[in-house]
Structure 1
Amino acid sequence: MITQWSEEDNCFLVGFPDFLGQRRRTHGDTYEAVVANGIEALESLIIAYEATGELLPESTVCNAA
């Protein structure tokens, strides 16, 4: 889960780069809200993958300064 502030949207955005098509999945006005929304979105993605029998993508390691 990658979270970042968007000046354009005036909110935090969260995305899941390991899941195709999930560059920007959800948002929140505060960091706490976007993390909670991100967790909920990730849980929904996992449920959807399991329902269709798809394998979850391999996670990549991101190093940030």
Structure 2
Amino acid sequence: MKDYHINVFYSDDDEGYIADIPDLKFCSAFGETPEVAVREVQIAKSAWLEAAQATGKPIPLPRYRPIIYQAS
């Protein structure tokens, strides 16, 4: 089963990790570790999807967008 892509990065300003789901606008979460940030964004994803269903907002399909690096 496909799922939404999650980005995880360290934020110097927040002094912690941010996880976000690009396909779900404004769906993000904070954690002191990458693992905590991912767990928190899974909770945010559930809330996002529930709110979208309740309000009739369209839910985008998950899209996997890999970044391909090529050696020079």
Runs of 4+ in 1 over 2 A off after TM superposition: none
**Larger radius of gyration between Structure 1 and Structure 2:** 2
Aligned pair count?
63
Corresponding position: 1:11 with 2:16: yes
- Structure 2: which 5+ residue stretches go unaligned? 1-5
- Residues 39-50 of structure 1: pairs in structure 2 closer than 5 A: 39-50=42-53
In structure 2, how many angstroms separate the alpha carbons of the residues matched to 1:40 and 1:62?
22
* Deviations 1:7-26, CA, capped at 9 Å, x for gaps: 22211001121123x1x621
Identity of aligned residues (%): 22
After superposition, the CA RMSD in angstroms is: 1.7
- Structure 1: which 5+ residue stretches go unaligned? none
In structure 2, how many angstroms separate the alpha carbons of the residues matched to 1:58 and 1:18?
8
Choose the corresponding residue for 1:30, options 33, 37, 40: 33
In structure 2, how many angstroms separate the alpha carbons of the residues matched to 1:46 and 1:31?
22
TM-score (norm 2): 0.72
In structure 2, how many angstroms separate the alpha carbons of the residues matched to 1:14 and 1:33?
9
TM-score (norm 1): 0.79
